[in-house]
Amino acid sequence: MSILDSTAHSSTATHGYYAWTDTLKGVYYGAGSVQTALPTLLDLLDGHKALIVTGKSLYTKTEVVKKVEAILKSKNAYGGTFWEIGEHSPIAGIRNGATKFKEAGCDIIVAVGGGSPVDATKAIIYYLQQETKGPFVKQIAIPTTLSAAEYTIGAGYTNEDGVKVAVSDQQLAPSGIILDSELTLDTPERLWLSTGIRALDHAVENLYRPLIPPPMKALCYVALRDLFTYLPKSKADPSNVTYRTKLQLASWMSLWPIKLQKYSALGLSHALGHKLGARYSIGHGITSCLTLAPTVHYKATSASEEDKQWLSDALFYLRIPTTGSLESDVHTLADAIDKLVAELGLKTNLEEQNVPRADAESIAAQAIGGKDGPEYPHVVDLVKSLWPSATSA
């Protein structure tokens, strides 16, 4: 999943294509919006009996899922709650969720939580359709983190061998999304802030991702600005739902829904993150804290001049003066990202995450799809830099 895409693509600066995802009928946002948005979406999508898909912690330790259950019950549309979704969406939970959906006689799924329940729901929908060969079941996503899985057509999950794999189809993207910042108040601080860095990772890597049109990159700049502004403010004032709404909107802008004409993977930071995440049980927010700044430093010397310009222009939105050199500007952006991660208390390394140093080469090879390309030794060096140096260890 998410092996770095080495396909050569033409520039999208003056020629390209954009289309909205096929399924999405509406995004509702604002504190308290779930009360009216969920019934509205159920009616719009002709949903009569909903299965809630969520994670154990959100279900057992907060009132968030119970609030959603109450709304569904008031509509006589509650079919049950499935809360066996673990981090990185293990395949066992997906299979059990599909069974629960059928046994309860449901016709729509409401995913509540972070990227794992949302992606697991996509995978459940995929396997249900493979079994029935009929229409795809619709999903309403109610995210409680900033990971932005709700805006994509792909479902990442972990197979029986502990390897992160994916299924993808235009019909897997959620049909409705509700961004209710009140429902994020119980999200643990480290998860909330680190998934904010995940959204930052989306915004940055979309600046050099192939086939992304300029209007989406403009949205990424605004996402960058707001993530840099409101993540520290949310850390300082975690009960402020206005800051949380601003961050939810930034997450949306970081990975704006798009229907691509051909496959285009996000960049090296995401590729490394997917390999580290499932293999070593590291949350994707934390993998972005590890990999994004070093990847941007690498881009300062390896990216095309056009991609360097896109990265350099981000400094304007962060109110950071240009150095007068594209390469130096990109390094400056990487330093700003690293500083933000530290300010949020999210700095870590692969030693702290219990990743063996001996795995550096295999991590790099898995991320870029092999050892033959000219970038391989540079990626190995990047991965090795994610451990503390021998003198500081």
Per-residue pLDDT of 264-282, as tens digits, reads: 778 999 999 989 987 898 9
> In angstroms, rounded to a whole number, what is the distance separating the alpha carbons of residues 274 and 164?
7
Reported CATH class of domain 23-184:
alpha beta
User: Which one-letter DSSP state was computed for residue 4?
Assistant: P
> In angstroms, rounded to a whole number, what is the distance separating the alpha carbons of residues 248 and 199?
9
**H-run or E-run covering 199:** helix 189-206
Please tell me the predicted confidence (pLDDT) of residue 269: 97
Tally DSSP H helices, then E strands, for the chain.
Answer: 15, 8
- Domain spans of the chain? 23-184, 189-386
Tokens representing 223 are 């996402």
Question: How many other CB atoms are found less than 10 A from the CB of residue 224?
Answer: 25
> In angstroms, rounded to a whole number, what is the distance separating the alpha carbons of residues 343 and 338?
9
- Low-confidence spans in the chain with pLDDT less than 50: 1-2, 393
- CATH 1.10.150.120, domain 189-386, yes or no: no
**pTM of the predicted model as reported, rounded to 2 decimal places:** 0.94
Please tell me the predicted confidence (pLDDT) of residue 166: 80
Please tell me the predicted confidence (pLDDT) of residue 3: 57
